[in-house]
Amino acid sequence: MNQNTKSSNQNQLPPLRPGGRSGGPMNSRVNREKPKHAKETLGKLLRYIGKSKTLIILLISIMVLVTVADLAGPALQGAAIDTIRLVDGRVTVDLPAMTRYLALMGVLFVISASLSLVQGIVAAKLSQNTVYMLRNDLFRKISKLPIRYTDTHRHGDIMSRMTNDVENVSNAISQSIASLISSVLTLVGAFSMMLYYGWIMALIACVTIPITITLSSTLAKFMRKYFVDRQKLLGQLNGQVEEMVTSYKTVVAYGKEKQAIEDFAKCSEEYKTCSIRARVWGSIMGPCMNFLGNFQYVLIAAFGGFFVLHPVSFMRTLTIGNIQSMLQYSKKFTRPVNEIANQYASILTALAGAKRIFEIMDSADEVDDGCSELRISEINGNIRFEKIEFAYEKDEPVLKGLDLSVDAGKKIAIVGATGSGKTTIVNLLTRFYELDGGRITVDGVDITQLPKETLRKSIAIVLQDTVLFSDTIRNNIKYGRPDATDEEMKRAAALARADVFIERLPDGYDTVLAESGSNLSQGQRQLLSIARAVLADPKILILDEATSSVDTRTEMHIQQAMVALMRNRTSLIIAHRLSTIRDADQIVVIKNGRVSEAGNHEELLAAGGEYYTLYQNQFAGIST
Amino acid sequence: MRRIFHYLKPYTFLAIISPLLMIGEVFADLCLPKLMTVIVDCGISKSGDVSESALGSTVMRLLFGEGTYSSMQVIITFGVLMLVVVLIGGFFGVACAYTAAKASQSMGRDLRCDAYRSVMSLSIEQTDRFTTGSLVTRMTNDITMIVDFTEMLLRMLVRSPMFFIGGSIMLFSLDLSFSMVMLCALPVLAITLFVVLRRAIPLYSRVQTKLDRVNSVVQENVTGARVIKAYVREDHEGERFRQANGELRDTNYRVQKIMAWMHPVLMVVMNVSIIAIIYLGGWQIENVAGTGMTAGTIMAAITYVTQVLMSLMMVAGMFQSVSRALASVRRVGEVLDAKPVIRSGAVREGKDDVAVSFRQVSFRYPGATGEPVLHNIDLDIRRGETFAVIGATGSGKTSLVNLIPRFYDATEGEVLVDGVPVKKYDLEALRQKISFVMQKSELFSDTIADNIRVGKTDATQEELCRAAQTAQAEEFVSGFSDGYETYIAEKGASLSGGQKQRMSIARALVRKPEILILDDSTSALDLATEAKLRHALKKDLRNTTVIMIAQRIASVREADRIAVIENGTIRDCGSHDELMRCSETYRDIYESQMKNGGEQV
């Protein structure tokens, strides 16, 4: 298990809390795409697309047909125009022959157009399917990631991988991939047609290719630099807005609006400059390609013209029509290269996005290999922590050999100074984090042996930071047990003392909570979380500062109501407020990563140790 | 649309010069087929006889004088000419791209800054209504969309019509019958575009909605990961996501399927036109004497028809982005038009001894219905007083203090600071007097020092340390290897709740406020630390009016006065001893906390 934790560490992105500040105040983390990674990422992406084999094969075969039809077009067109001849200084035409060619062309084009319609639909299907799969897999992956991952990575960053990056990949697949395949096919086709007209001409046409490649790759290098910078700056802008808007109350309270605007303007200006540069470099590509294309055109015209007038023995005689067709092909020849140059930016974005997506895909899953067949109904709730060692970050141990045992049906309170590791115990018991040493058992079974589903279904927790979903109050309470009846749901709400305020709401239990539950007060949110935990009917209930924003009288009523409910169940309570914990069967004081004392309220007070000091402090204000 | 032009105004010169430069590029592009015709007709077909081509003969005469020219001479001369034209066109093209980018990006910067300024002037209730996510996308994605669209507009506005008109004129000049072909082709194409776009455009906004849905599911799953795992609801969430994702895919697929018709239809129309042109050309040669129709003419006509139809396609593409850009303009416009509900007054200084007073204040959250959160509050808080507020969950404690720095305005009645109604204050001056520590600490991804400096930008190191000491933050800050320069990532995710709260308090203290509001901001502190903090505050803030909300009796006990709030009204108000004597509610709260331990008093 240790090994697993370590290997997942290596897969992580740079950890939070970097040594100092680097760059601006909001240094967003944008990964620069490196070429060798690009190849690897491309491979993975292609494998993904490759999953829809039938569609791919269908698409490529249609593309081959369309390309062939497109290539035959100029040949027929050339032949049709060739029926116009100069005879004795007069222009004449062989109309029946021309009509034949034109009819052929018409048939060909209709076939080609219908095929390309099918091609468009198949390509859309392929790209949408691939993206759908990619999104689903990414989502499944995110839900399998250990909590450590979500705790140490910017949520905004994970979000943007799921949305922006997937979107970029999707655009590339639907536009670039299809046009790339057809470009390559056209290139091959055009070249073979040229070969057909004469290898010398084909050779001449090829002259421009090395120039094109050198030029475009040089340009691309410049483009990429500005392009990457631009994305990075855009990320920074994003980050600034997001941070300032989420902390808007603080910004307003301290009159920081002006400074925020200044910072933003600075970043915006940089972004502007960078975008202009990127655009200008990008716009140079077009004319360069255009020049090369026309250069090839002139070359073919010149040499073609030369060969028409001076037929050479090693090549078959060229007609004017041949040259016409070749000039058409020459255009077809440069277009794919152009196309690739045009798609460069979007392919680059897609690859950068794909890389970020695969970074998540490749990180280690939450470990879940327990195979104990213990059933939830069989769990009694005897919990033992044995010699627990744990550190969030290497060399900063939080728990150092903690021992603790909780008997089934008991109410245990954990107290200790801020940062002493109380919440960590919850994180370990629910296996949000894995131990570095020691073991935790539930009814004598090591929790690593239990399937996570069994373990977690037997526990209900109420967290310090309440999480509510933008759904109705009813569904939020039923979250832990969706099949509960409304009766049961209302009873749970009543027990958590949430019924009073819910019934006062115009829509009662059908009130839809706003984005961040902002239509409720902090304390009301906590009451809802408690109702949710109560309804889940767990064997083990964990309350981690669950009532910190609830007034003490309400809290007292909840506690009284819980007494009956928690008979035969184990509860673990973390709180600063001593009134919250005084009734516990056992109070455990945590200090320096260990249990420093344990006992009930009276025993601990009598002992005059750590707890006594805490207690004195709480009432210090009162007793003076 | 008018908005775009408004923002383009400062860059009028660039915005006008850019399309003009584009004319240069288009002109070059239109010249090319002419030059090619000469190469094909005179150079290749007639071995250098340029007599029939006006362009050919003029150019050759200018360069080489009268006489006959060899075919290679013609091909190479016109070849070089073509390349020169391409270069000139390219130069114009790049210059156009530069000016267009400069104009649109500068406009984008202005628009972005204005929109941001507008966001920064919004009232809290307005940011609540917009929601964070939507404000972020409006500020970034939507503005980027508008900028890209403007840039394209500047470049294409002239390009497409120029190609269209130029191509048509060239076609007319070649032969009238050819232009008839085009006239037939255009309506077919236009109808197709109309039908396709009419069906596709509404779907685009559907796609956006579906995408928002996918995003919101992801957002909830990332932020709520713990709860989802704790209740083992991964499968349920997965199902929810698959459904949203499936709908997105289906809608996207529908749009793309419709759009897929565009290209093939265009190809058919174009190729049928080409066939028609070749046939018409051939027919004329056969049947009309002395038409002057040549193979080169037909070739040129094909090129022009292609250009004209392509330019129409470009216009179609633009329609598509117009509808998207307009949606973005509307969304950004909503932000720009949002006038702050809470407006600044002009008064900078108060004069009264009463630091804060509430006169018959009632309050209901904007847009909320039902009972008001606060009813008829009357309250005076003297300067230098420590005033505590205690009360049940949801009784209106936070709402009460929110009215002082005007996060919200009272629905009825008046709130006064230093004897002046808060509505008459200059907002900045009002908020300058106050430090507000929130229930939920809001830290920035920045160093600890800079996070504290939010309270006072020019605070010296000494001031920082003092504030941190008073806030009981000094100890843990100096425990970090980088001390005050320690970087706090992701809004303080690496700090414990208590550490975050102490930093927020340090931030509030460093500005030495006249009024300090603590909204249940010590709830995550352990009791020992809280007691130390309370004593330090008492020592350091002798002249500061302190208004604190708390749950624990111990926290409020030493306050000069304590108000007990119940259902939005002040039930009782007085010192601890007074309340213990005459307030049943207060005694109840006291009992709930002192039960079993009350013997200490």
Contact in structure between A318 and A197 (CB atoms under 8 Å): yes
* C-alpha to C-alpha distance for A206 and A180, rounded to whole angstroms: 19
Q: Which pLDDT belongs to residue A38?
A: 65
CATH code of the domain covering residue A224: 1.20.1560.10
CB spacing of B46 vs A467 below 8 angstroms: no
* C-alpha to C-alpha distance for B49 and B69, rounded to whole angstroms: 7
CB-neighbour burial class of residue B478 (10 A; exposed 0-12, middle 13-18, buried 19+): exposed
Q: Determine how many CB atoms are found less than 10 A away from the CB of residue A266.
A: 12
Q: Does B63 touch chain A (CB under 8 A)?
A: no
End-of-domain residue from the set A334, A361, A388: A361
Of B127, B455, B527, the CB nearest to A254: B455
Indicate if A356 and A477 belong to the same structural domain: no
Q: Does B368 touch chain A (CB under 8 A)?
A: yes
Q: Does B203 touch chain A (CB under 8 A)?
A: no
User: Is A433 a member of any domain?
Assistant: no
pTM summary value = 0.74
Q: What is the mean pLDDT of the segment spanning B333-350?
A: 79
| A274-278, B4-8, B246-250 — most confident range | B246-250
End-of-domain residue from the set A537, A559, A588: A537
One-letter-per-residue 3-state SS of A72-125:
HHHHHHHHHHHCEEEECCEEEECHHHHHHHHHHHHHHHHHHHHHHHHHHHHHHH
- A contacts of B563 (beta carbons < 8 Å): none
Mutate: best of A12, A13, A17, A201, partner B, most B CBs <10 A: A17
- B contacts of A601 (beta carbons < 8 Å): 596
Q: Which pLDDT belongs to residue A9?
A: 36
**Helix count and strand count (H, E) for chain B:** 22, 10
Indicate if A231 and A93 belong to the same structural domain: yes
Give ∠ CA A431-A433-A439 in degrees, rounded to 5: 65
User: Is A13 a member of any domain?
Assistant: no
- B contacts of A144 (beta carbons < 8 Å): 234
Q: Which pLDDT belongs to residue A127?
A: 83
- B contacts of A245 (beta carbons < 8 Å): 119, 127, 132, 135-136
Q: What is the mean pLDDT of the segment spanning B504-516?
A: 88
Q: Which pLDDT belongs to residue A582?
A: 79
Mutate: best of A306, A338, A551, A605, partner B, most B CBs <10 A: A551
- Range name among A71-80, B21-30, B71-80, B312-321 with the lowest pLDDT average: B312-321
Q: Tell me: pLDDT of B181 over 60.
A: yes
* C-alpha to C-alpha distance for B375 and B567, rounded to whole angstroms: 8
Of A260, A320, A418, the CB nearest to B498: A418
Average pLDDT, chain B: 81
* C-alpha to C-alpha distance for A517 and A529, rounded to whole angstroms: 12
Indicate if A348 and A480 belong to the same structural domain: no
A440 phi/psi in degrees, rounded to 5: -120, 135
* C-alpha to C-alpha distance for B561 and B573, rounded to whole angstroms: 7
Q: Which pLDDT belongs to residue A156?
A: 66
- B contacts of A260 (beta carbons < 8 Å): 116, 120
| A90-104, B293-307, B554-568 — most confident range | B554-568
One-letter-per-residue 3-state SS of B195-211:
HHHHHHHHHHHHHHHHH
* Position B246 confidence tier, pLDDT thresholds 50, 70, 90: very high
Order of strands across the sheet that contains A586-591: A459-462, A540-544, A570-574, A411-416, A586-591, A594-599
Indicate if A215 and A339 belong to the same structural domain: yes
- Range name among A573-577, B92-96, B323-327 with the lowest pLDDT average: B323-327
Angle between the N-to-C axes of helices A178-197 and A320-361, in degrees from 0 to 180, rounded to the nearest 10? 150
* Position B599 confidence tier, pLDDT thresholds 50, 70, 90: very low
Indicate if A163 and A298 belong to the same structural domain: yes
CA distance B39 to chain A (A): 7
Of B230, B237, B534, the CB nearest to A459: B230
Question: How far are the Cα atoms of A392, A436, A594, A622 from residue A397, in angstroms, in the given order?
Answer: 7, 10, 11, 36
- A contacts of B530 (beta carbons < 8 Å): 617
Identify the structural domains of chain B with CATH numbers, from first to last. Answer: 1-161 (1.20.1560.10), 354-600 (3.40.50.300)
Q: Determine how many CB atoms are found less than 10 A away from the CB of residue B310.
A: 16
* C-alpha to C-alpha distance for A392 and A382, rounded to whole angstroms: 26
What is the count of structural domains for chain A?
2
Q: Which pLDDT belongs to residue A395?
A: 72
Residue in chain B closest to A21 (alpha carbons) equals B487
* Position B247 confidence tier, pLDDT thresholds 50, 70, 90: very high
CA distance B383 to chain A (A): 20
Question: Does residue B465 or residue B291 have the better pLDDT?
Answer: B465
Residue % of chain B over a pLDDT of 70: 94
* C-alpha to C-alpha distance for B279 and B298, rounded to whole angstroms: 9
Q: What is the mean pLDDT of the segment spanning B62-69?
A: 76
CB spacing of A432 vs B226 below 8 angstroms: yes
- A contacts of B106 (beta carbons < 8 Å): 272
One-letter-per-residue 3-state SS of A121-145:
HHHHHHHHHHHHHHHHHHHHHHHHC
Range of the domain at A498: 468-537
Distance of CA A2 to the CA centre of its chain: 27
CA distance A32 to chain B (A): 21
Residue in chain B closest to A239 (alpha carbons) equals B136
Q: Kindly state the DSSP code that residue A11 receives in the 8-state scheme.
A: T
- Range name among B90-104, B398-412, B418-432, B523-537 with the lowest pLDDT average: B523-537
The predicted complex's ipTM stands at 0.76
CA distance B352 to chain A (A): 22
* C-alpha to C-alpha distance for A334 and A215, rounded to whole angstroms: 14
Determine the residue type at A209: I
Residue in chain B closest to A616 (alpha carbons) equals B528
Q: Determine how many CB atoms are found less than 10 A away from the CB of residue A278.
A: 23
Picking from B178, B174, B173, B285, the residue whose alpha carbon sits closest to that of residue A80 is B285
CB spacing of B286 vs A93 below 8 angstroms: yes
Q: Does B289 touch chain A (CB under 8 A)?
A: no
- B contacts of A279 (beta carbons < 8 Å): 97-98, 100-101, 105, 151
Percent helix, strand, coil in chain A, to 5, is: 65, 10, 25
User: Is A369 a member of any domain?
Assistant: no
Q: Which pLDDT belongs to residue A2?
A: 39
- B contacts of A252 (beta carbons < 8 Å): 124, 405, 407, 431
CB spacing of B32 vs A294 below 8 angstroms: yes
Of B90, B218, B394, the CB nearest to A139: B218
User: Is A293 a member of any domain?
Assistant: yes
Contact in structure between A308 and A217 (CB atoms under 8 Å): no
User: Is A168 a member of any domain?
Assistant: yes
Q: Which pLDDT belongs to residue B193?
A: 81
* C-alpha to C-alpha distance for A547 and A524, rounded to whole angstroms: 10
SS3 (DSSP) at A3: helix
Indicate if A206 and A339 belong to the same structural domain: yes
User: Is A200 a member of any domain?
Assistant: yes
Q: Which pLDDT belongs to residue B315?
A: 76
Question: How far are the Cα atoms of B50, B59, B61, B72 from residue B66, in angstroms, in the given order?
Answer: 11, 11, 5, 17
Of B36, B231, B490, the CB nearest to A154: B490
Residue in chain A closest to B220 (alpha carbons) equals A469
- A contacts of B135 (beta carbons < 8 Å): 241, 245
End-of-domain residue from the set A518, A537, A556: A537
Q: Does B336 touch chain A (CB under 8 A)?
A: no
User: Is A610 a member of any domain?
Assistant: no
Of B224, B236, B554, the CB nearest to A467: B224
* C-alpha to C-alpha distance for B235 and B97, rounded to whole angstroms: 51
CB spacing of A271 vs B494 below 8 angstroms: no
User: Dihedral of the CA atoms B247, B253, B259, B261 (nearest 10)?
Assistant: -140
How many residue contacts between A and B have a Cβ separation below 8 Å? 521
User: Is A277 a member of any domain?
Assistant: yes
Q: Does B112 touch chain A (CB under 8 A)?
A: yes
Residue in chain A closest to B103 (alpha carbons) equals A276
CATH code of the domain covering residue A488: 3.40.50.300
- B contacts of A147 (beta carbons < 8 Å): 225-226, 229
Give ∠ CA A519-A520-A524 in degrees, rounded to 5: 170
Q: Which two tokens stand for residue A95?
A: 């109309």
Indicate if A227 and A357 belong to the same structural domain: yes
* Regions in chain A scoring below 70 on pLDDT: 1-38, 86, 88-89, 154-156, 178, 313-317, 320, 324, 331-335, 337-338, 340-342, 344-345, 514-519, 617-624
**Residues paired with B472 in a beta bridge:** none
* Position B389 confidence tier, pLDDT thresholds 50, 70, 90: very high
Question: Does residue B441 or residue B544 have the better pLDDT?
Answer: B544
- B contacts of A110 (beta carbons < 8 Å): 268
Mutate: best of B227, B254, B440, B488, partner A, most A CBs <10 A: B227
Question: How far are the Cα atoms of A195, A252, B126, B129, B406 from residue B123, in angstroms, in the given order?
Answer: 71, 9, 5, 10, 9
- Range name among A161-170, A413-422, B251-260, B485-494 with the lowest pLDDT average: B485-494
